[in-house]
Protein backbone atom coordinates (compact mmCIF):
# COMPACT_ATOMS: atom_id res chain seq x y z
CA UNK A 1 0.00 0.00 0.00
CA UNK A 2 2.88 2.31 0.85
CA UNK A 3 4.69 1.87 -2.48
CA UNK A 4 1.37 2.31 -4.23
CA UNK A 5 0.90 5.73 -2.76
CA UNK A 6 4.48 6.74 -3.77
CA UNK A 7 3.63 5.67 -7.34
CA UNK A 8 0.54 7.82 -7.24
CA UNK A 9 2.62 10.81 -6.19
CA UNK A 10 5.12 10.04 -8.99
CA UNK A 11 2.27 10.02 -11.48
CA UNK A 12 1.38 13.65 -10.71
CA UNK A 13 2.53 16.38 -13.10
CA UNK A 14 5.80 17.59 -11.49
CA UNK A 15 6.65 20.29 -10.59
CA UNK A 16 3.24 20.78 -9.10
CA UNK A 17 3.86 24.41 -8.20
CA UNK A 18 6.01 27.23 -9.53
CA UNK A 19 6.41 29.62 -6.58
CA UNK A 20 6.11 33.28 -7.49
CA UNK A 21 7.65 34.40 -4.22
CA UNK A 22 11.13 32.98 -3.74
CA UNK A 23 12.80 34.25 -0.54
CA UNK A 24 15.72 31.91 -1.24
CA UNK A 25 16.96 34.33 -3.92
CA UNK A 26 18.16 36.55 -1.10
CA UNK A 27 19.99 33.69 0.61
CA UNK A 28 22.02 32.38 -2.34
CA UNK A 29 25.36 33.92 -1.50
CA UNK A 30 27.16 35.40 1.42
CA UNK A 31 27.28 38.72 -0.46
CA UNK A 32 23.52 38.98 -0.85
CA UNK A 33 22.89 37.75 2.68
CA UNK A 34 25.06 40.50 4.05
CA UNK A 35 23.32 43.11 1.87
CA UNK A 36 19.88 42.24 3.26
CA UNK A 37 20.87 41.46 6.87
CA UNK A 38 18.46 43.27 9.20
CA UNK A 39 20.48 43.19 12.40
CA UNK A 40 24.10 44.16 12.77
CA UNK A 41 26.61 43.16 15.41
CA UNK A 42 29.75 45.17 16.07
CA UNK A 43 32.33 45.36 18.88
CA UNK A 44 30.93 48.80 19.73
CA UNK A 45 27.65 47.10 20.73
CA UNK A 46 29.37 45.29 23.61
CA UNK A 47 30.03 46.43 27.17
CA UNK A 48 32.53 44.25 29.06
CA UNK A 49 31.92 43.65 32.80
CA UNK A 50 35.09 43.69 34.94
CA UNK A 51 35.58 42.77 38.60
CA UNK A 52 38.18 44.68 40.60
CA UNK A 53 39.16 43.12 43.92
CA UNK A 54 40.92 45.46 46.31
CA UNK A 55 42.96 42.75 48.05
CA UNK A 56 44.39 41.01 44.98
CA UNK A 57 47.92 41.38 43.59
CA UNK A 58 47.22 39.17 40.61
CA UNK A 59 44.18 37.95 38.68
CA UNK A 60 42.08 35.27 40.40
CA UNK A 61 40.04 33.07 38.02
CA UNK A 62 36.33 32.75 38.80
CA UNK A 63 35.62 29.00 38.82
CA UNK A 64 31.97 29.40 37.86
CA UNK A 65 32.79 31.58 34.83
CA UNK A 66 35.60 30.08 32.71
CA UNK A 67 37.65 32.87 31.14
CA UNK A 68 36.60 35.48 33.72
CA UNK A 69 38.83 36.64 36.58
CA UNK A 70 38.70 39.03 39.48
CA UNK A 71 41.41 41.59 38.79
CA UNK A 72 43.73 43.71 40.92
CA UNK A 73 43.18 47.45 40.58
CA UNK A 74 46.69 47.65 39.07
CA UNK A 75 45.33 45.81 35.99
CA UNK A 76 42.82 48.56 35.19
CA UNK A 77 44.94 50.55 32.74
CA UNK A 78 45.76 47.45 30.67
CA UNK A 79 42.09 46.47 30.60
CA UNK A 80 41.22 49.95 29.35
CA UNK A 81 43.78 49.66 26.57
CA UNK A 82 42.46 46.20 25.63
CA UNK A 83 38.88 47.48 25.46
CA UNK A 84 40.01 50.40 23.33
CA UNK A 85 42.06 48.24 20.94
CA UNK A 86 39.09 45.90 20.40
CA UNK A 87 36.73 48.81 19.78
CA UNK A 88 34.35 47.80 22.57
CA UNK A 89 31.42 50.08 23.36
CA UNK A 90 32.59 50.40 26.93
CA UNK A 91 33.26 48.60 30.18
CA UNK A 92 31.22 48.24 33.38
CA UNK A 93 33.01 47.91 36.71
CA UNK A 94 32.13 45.91 39.81
CA UNK A 95 34.10 46.15 43.04
CA UNK A 96 35.12 43.69 45.73
CA UNK A 97 36.12 45.72 48.78
CA UNK A 98 38.52 44.84 51.59
CA UNK A 99 35.85 45.41 54.24
CA UNK A 100 32.08 44.93 54.41
CA UNK A 101 29.56 46.15 56.97
CA UNK A 102 25.80 46.12 57.51
CA UNK A 103 25.18 49.34 55.58
CA UNK A 104 27.65 48.78 52.74
CA UNK A 105 29.58 51.93 53.55
CA UNK A 106 32.69 50.81 51.63
CA UNK A 107 30.57 51.28 48.46
CA UNK A 108 31.20 55.02 48.68
CA UNK A 109 34.82 54.91 49.82
CA UNK A 110 36.62 57.24 47.36
CA UNK A 111 39.67 54.96 47.66
CA UNK A 112 37.64 51.81 47.02
CA UNK A 113 38.41 49.47 44.12
CA UNK A 114 35.87 50.96 41.71
CA UNK A 115 36.81 54.67 42.03
CA UNK A 116 40.51 53.76 41.81
CA UNK A 117 40.01 51.53 38.76
CA UNK A 118 37.83 54.18 37.07
CA UNK A 119 40.51 56.83 37.57
CA UNK A 120 43.26 54.52 36.27
CA UNK A 121 41.22 53.62 33.19
CA UNK A 122 40.38 57.25 32.43
CA UNK A 123 44.05 58.21 32.83
CA UNK A 124 45.09 55.45 30.42
CA UNK A 125 42.32 55.87 27.82
CA UNK A 126 40.43 59.14 28.42
CA UNK A 127 37.76 58.53 25.78
CA UNK A 128 36.90 54.98 26.86
CA UNK A 129 33.26 54.79 28.00
CA UNK A 130 33.35 53.83 31.66
CA UNK A 131 30.18 52.64 33.42
CA UNK A 132 29.98 51.67 37.10
CA UNK A 133 27.50 49.30 38.72
CA UNK A 134 25.86 51.06 41.66
CA UNK A 135 24.64 48.59 44.26
CA UNK A 136 25.61 47.68 47.80
CA UNK A 137 25.38 43.89 47.69
CA UNK A 138 29.14 43.55 47.14
CA UNK A 139 29.74 45.85 50.11
CA UNK A 140 27.24 44.60 52.72
CA UNK A 141 28.24 41.79 55.10
CA UNK A 142 24.79 40.20 54.62
CA UNK A 143 24.92 40.36 50.80
CA UNK A 144 21.59 42.11 50.25
CA UNK A 145 21.21 45.07 47.90
CA UNK A 146 20.27 47.50 50.67
CA UNK A 147 20.19 48.37 54.34
CA UNK A 148 18.18 45.96 56.49
CA UNK A 149 15.61 46.69 59.15
CA UNK A 150 13.18 44.49 61.07
CA UNK A 151 9.77 44.23 59.41
CA UNK A 152 6.45 44.15 61.28
CA UNK A 153 6.98 40.55 62.44
CA UNK A 154 10.64 40.90 63.29
CA UNK A 155 12.18 39.36 60.18
CA UNK A 156 14.70 41.51 58.32
CA UNK A 157 13.78 43.28 55.13
CA UNK A 158 15.52 45.79 52.87
CA UNK A 159 14.68 49.38 53.86
CA UNK A 160 14.03 51.05 50.52
CA UNK A 161 14.31 54.70 51.52
CA UNK A 162 17.32 54.31 53.82
CA UNK A 163 19.15 52.55 50.99
CA UNK A 164 18.66 55.46 48.56
CA UNK A 165 21.16 57.64 50.41
CA UNK A 166 23.91 54.99 50.26
CA UNK A 167 23.26 54.47 46.55
CA UNK A 168 23.36 58.21 45.87
CA UNK A 169 26.66 58.62 47.75
CA UNK A 170 28.11 55.71 45.76
CA UNK A 171 27.02 57.20 42.44
CA UNK A 172 28.51 60.59 43.33
CA UNK A 173 31.85 58.99 44.30
CA UNK A 174 31.91 57.06 41.02
CA UNK A 175 31.08 60.20 39.04
CA UNK A 176 33.78 62.17 40.84
CA UNK A 177 36.30 59.45 39.94
CA UNK A 178 35.40 59.96 36.27
CA UNK A 179 32.63 57.47 35.45
CA UNK A 180 30.69 58.54 32.35
CA UNK A 181 27.61 56.53 33.33
CA UNK A 182 26.40 55.18 36.67
CA UNK A 183 24.19 52.10 36.57
CA UNK A 184 21.99 51.39 39.61
CA UNK A 185 21.22 47.65 39.83
CA UNK A 186 19.56 47.51 43.26
CA UNK A 187 15.86 47.77 42.26
CA UNK A 188 14.91 50.18 45.07
CA UNK A 189 11.93 52.41 44.26
CA UNK A 190 12.91 56.00 43.53
CA UNK A 191 16.62 55.35 43.11
CA UNK A 192 16.92 57.00 39.69
CA UNK A 193 15.32 60.15 41.06
CA UNK A 194 17.61 60.07 44.12
CA UNK A 195 20.74 59.54 42.01
CA UNK A 196 19.79 62.29 39.54
CA UNK A 197 19.21 64.82 42.33
CA UNK A 198 22.41 63.84 44.14
CA UNK A 199 24.49 64.03 40.95
CA UNK A 200 22.97 67.36 39.93
CA UNK A 201 23.42 68.74 43.43
CA UNK A 202 27.14 67.93 43.42
CA UNK A 203 28.08 69.29 40.01
CA UNK A 204 27.78 65.99 38.13
CA UNK A 205 24.84 66.98 35.94
CA UNK A 206 26.65 65.54 32.89
CA UNK A 207 26.97 62.05 34.34
CA UNK A 208 24.39 59.78 32.71
CA UNK A 209 22.24 57.16 34.45
CA UNK A 210 21.81 53.71 32.93
CA UNK A 211 19.03 52.15 34.95
CA UNK A 212 18.77 48.40 35.41
CA UNK A 213 15.10 49.28 35.05
CA UNK A 214 13.80 45.78 34.47
CA UNK A 215 15.76 43.35 36.60
CA UNK A 216 14.31 39.96 37.37
CA UNK A 217 14.98 37.76 40.42
CA UNK A 218 16.87 35.25 38.30
CA UNK A 219 18.67 31.95 38.85
CA UNK A 220 20.97 33.02 36.03
CA UNK A 221 22.91 35.33 38.37
CA UNK A 222 24.30 32.27 40.18
CA UNK A 223 27.84 32.28 38.73
CA UNK A 224 28.17 36.06 39.28
CA UNK A 225 27.82 35.62 43.01
CA UNK A 226 31.25 33.98 43.13
CA UNK A 227 32.71 36.60 40.77
CA UNK A 228 31.47 39.49 42.91
CA UNK A 229 31.30 37.66 46.26
CA UNK A 230 27.78 38.89 46.88
CA UNK A 231 25.53 35.90 47.61
CA UNK A 232 22.88 36.90 50.18
CA UNK A 233 23.66 35.25 53.53
CA UNK A 234 19.95 34.54 54.10
CA UNK A 235 16.78 34.72 52.06
CA UNK A 236 16.71 35.82 48.44
CA UNK A 237 16.18 38.96 46.35
CA UNK A 238 12.54 38.34 45.41
CA UNK A 239 11.44 41.19 47.72
CA UNK A 240 13.05 43.74 45.42
CA UNK A 241 13.88 42.10 42.08
CA UNK A 242 11.04 41.28 39.68
CA UNK A 243 9.01 38.10 39.33
CA UNK A 244 10.03 36.30 36.08
CA UNK A 245 6.33 35.82 35.31
CA UNK A 246 5.64 39.54 34.78
CA UNK A 247 5.82 41.82 31.75
CA UNK A 248 3.26 44.57 32.52
CA UNK A 249 5.36 45.27 35.59
CA UNK A 250 8.42 45.59 33.32
CA UNK A 251 6.71 48.37 31.39
CA UNK A 252 5.79 50.08 34.63
CA UNK A 253 9.39 49.94 35.89
CA UNK A 254 10.67 51.28 32.56
CA UNK A 255 8.15 54.14 32.61
CA UNK A 256 9.00 55.10 36.19
CA UNK A 257 12.74 55.18 35.51
CA UNK A 258 12.20 57.21 32.37
CA UNK A 259 10.08 59.70 34.33
CA UNK A 260 12.69 59.83 37.10
CA UNK A 261 15.33 60.89 34.57
CA UNK A 262 17.12 57.73 33.43
CA UNK A 263 19.15 58.35 30.25
CA UNK A 264 19.34 54.69 29.25
CA UNK A 265 17.39 51.60 30.28
CA UNK A 266 18.37 47.98 30.69
CA UNK A 267 16.63 44.61 30.80
CA UNK A 268 18.33 41.82 32.73
CA UNK A 269 18.84 38.88 32.13
CA UNK A 270 18.72 38.87 28.32
CA UNK A 271 18.08 35.46 26.77
CA UNK A 272 15.08 34.26 28.82
CA UNK A 273 13.57 37.76 28.46
CA UNK A 274 13.81 38.57 24.73
CA UNK A 275 10.05 39.24 24.73
CA UNK A 276 10.53 41.80 27.49
CA UNK A 277 13.35 43.49 25.56
CA UNK A 278 11.04 43.78 22.54
CA UNK A 279 8.22 45.24 24.62
CA UNK A 280 10.38 47.78 26.44
CA UNK A 281 11.93 48.73 23.08
CA UNK A 282 8.44 49.48 21.73
CA UNK A 283 7.35 51.39 24.83
CA UNK A 284 10.32 53.73 25.40
CA UNK A 285 12.40 55.94 23.12
CA UNK A 286 15.42 55.68 25.45
CA UNK A 287 18.48 53.71 24.37
CA UNK A 288 18.09 50.16 25.62
CA UNK A 289 20.70 47.73 26.90
CA UNK A 290 20.40 44.08 27.82
CA UNK A 291 22.59 42.16 30.27
CA UNK A 292 23.68 38.76 28.96
CA UNK A 293 24.31 37.56 32.50
CA UNK A 294 26.74 35.15 34.16
CA UNK A 295 24.48 32.09 33.98
CA UNK A 296 23.84 32.59 30.28
CA UNK A 297 27.61 32.82 29.78
CA UNK A 298 28.34 29.78 31.95
CA UNK A 299 25.85 27.60 30.03
CA UNK A 300 27.57 28.36 26.72
CA UNK A 301 31.01 27.78 28.21
CA UNK A 302 29.97 24.45 29.73
CA UNK A 303 28.25 23.20 26.58
CA UNK A 304 31.14 24.17 24.33
CA UNK A 305 33.74 22.69 26.72
CA UNK A 306 31.77 19.43 26.56
CA UNK A 307 31.87 19.53 22.76
CA UNK A 308 28.10 19.92 22.55
CA UNK A 309 28.02 23.27 20.81
CA UNK A 310 30.20 25.45 18.57
CA UNK A 311 31.05 28.33 20.91
CA UNK A 312 31.75 30.97 18.31
CA UNK A 313 28.62 30.32 16.27
CA UNK A 314 26.46 30.02 19.38
CA UNK A 315 27.72 33.26 20.92
CA UNK A 316 27.35 35.30 17.74
CA UNK A 317 23.84 33.89 17.23
CA UNK A 318 22.80 34.71 20.79
CA UNK A 319 24.21 38.23 20.66
CA UNK A 320 22.48 38.81 17.33
CA UNK A 321 19.21 37.58 18.85
CA UNK A 322 19.49 40.05 21.73
CA UNK A 323 20.07 42.89 19.26
CA UNK A 324 17.21 41.65 17.04
CA UNK A 325 14.86 41.69 20.04
CA UNK A 326 15.57 45.40 20.34
CA UNK A 327 18.67 45.97 22.49
CA UNK A 328 20.96 48.76 21.28
CA UNK A 329 23.86 47.43 23.33
CA UNK A 330 24.72 44.30 25.32
CA UNK A 331 26.59 43.84 28.57
CA UNK A 332 28.35 40.53 28.01
CA UNK A 333 31.26 38.46 29.31
CA UNK A 334 31.70 37.30 25.69
CA UNK A 335 32.66 40.86 24.66
CA UNK A 336 36.38 40.24 24.12
CA UNK A 337 35.93 36.95 22.22
CA UNK A 338 33.03 38.27 20.16
CA UNK A 339 34.91 41.45 19.24
CA UNK A 340 37.85 39.33 18.07
CA UNK A 341 35.59 37.01 16.07
CA UNK A 342 33.95 39.98 14.37
CA UNK A 343 37.43 41.20 13.48
C1 LIG B 1 23.91 43.45 41.74
C2 LIG B 1 24.16 42.76 40.45
C3 LIG B 1 24.03 41.40 40.18
C4 LIG B 1 24.39 41.23 38.84
C5 LIG B 1 24.75 42.47 38.35
N6 LIG B 1 24.57 43.41 39.35
C7 LIG B 1 23.70 40.27 41.08
C8 LIG B 1 22.33 40.17 41.59
O9 LIG B 1 21.48 41.02 41.37
O10 LIG B 1 22.08 39.20 42.30
C11 LIG B 1 24.39 39.93 38.09
C12 LIG B 1 25.19 39.91 36.83
C13 LIG B 1 25.40 38.56 36.27
O14 LIG B 1 24.83 37.55 36.72
O15 LIG B 1 26.16 38.48 35.31
N16 LIG B 1 25.01 44.26 42.11
Which protein residue's CA is at the shortest distance from atom 16 of ligand 1?
135
Residue in 85, 70, 88 with CA at minimum distance from that of residue 131: 88
Determine the pLDDT at residue 154.
Answer: 86
Q: Answer yes or no: is 206 within a domain.
A: yes
Domain assignment present for 7: no
Predicted local distance difference test score (pLDDT) of residue 17: 95
Predicted TM-score (pTM) of this structure: 0.96
Question: Cβ neighbours of residue 81 under 8 Å, at least 6 residues apart?
Answer: 124, 125
Q: Is residue 10 part of a domain?
A: no
Domain housing 180: 41-342
82 burial via Cβ count (<10 Å: 0-12, 13-18, 19+): middle
Q: Quick check: is 237 in a domain? A: yes
Instruction: Decide if 4 is inside a domain.
Output: no
CA dihedral 8, 10, 11, 14 (to 10 degrees): 130
The answer, yes or no, to whether any atom of ligand 1 lies below 6 A from the CB of 273, is no
Could you tell me if residue 8 is inside a domain? no
> For residue 2, what pLDDT is reported?
81
**Domain of residue 225, CATH code:** 3.20.20.70
Q: Catalytic one among 169, 215, 279, 301?
A: 215
Q: Is 92 helix (H, G, I), strand (E, B) or coil?
A: strand
Residue 135 Cβ contacting ligand 1 at under 6 Å: yes
Whether residue 187 lies inside any domain: the answer is yes
Contacts of 18 (CB under 8 A, 6+ apart): none
Say how far apart CA 298 and CA 304 lie, in whole Å.
10
Q: Which of 138, 117, 131, 120 is nearest to 171 (CA)?
A: 131
Instruction: Please confirm, yes or no, whether 169 is among the known catalytic residues.
Output: no
- Conformation bin of residue 288: beta by default, left when phi > 0, alpha when psi is -120 to 50: beta
What averages of pLDDT result for each successive group of 10 residues across the chain (343 residues)? 90 96 98 98 98 98 97 98 98 97 96 98 98 96 95 91 98 98 97 98 98 98 93 93 98 98 98 98 98 98 98 98 98 98 95
Work out how many domains the chain is built from and give that number.
Answer: 1
268 flagged as catalytic: yes
* 343 neighbors 324 (Cβ within 8 angstroms): no
137 lines ligand 1 (CB under 6 A): yes
Is 121 a member of any domain? yes
First to last CA, the chain: 57
CA distance 215 to 18: 50
Which parts are annotated binding residues for Mg(2+)? Answer: 253
Amino acid sequence: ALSQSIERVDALQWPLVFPTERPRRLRRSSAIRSLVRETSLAPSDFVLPLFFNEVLDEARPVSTMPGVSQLPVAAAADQARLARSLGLGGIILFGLPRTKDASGSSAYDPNGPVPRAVAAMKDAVPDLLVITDVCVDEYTDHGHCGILRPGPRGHLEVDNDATLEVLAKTAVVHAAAGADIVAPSDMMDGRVDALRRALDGTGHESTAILSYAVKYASSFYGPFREAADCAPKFGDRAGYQMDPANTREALREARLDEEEGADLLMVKPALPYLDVIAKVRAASPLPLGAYNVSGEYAMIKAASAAGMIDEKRAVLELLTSIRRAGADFILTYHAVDAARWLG
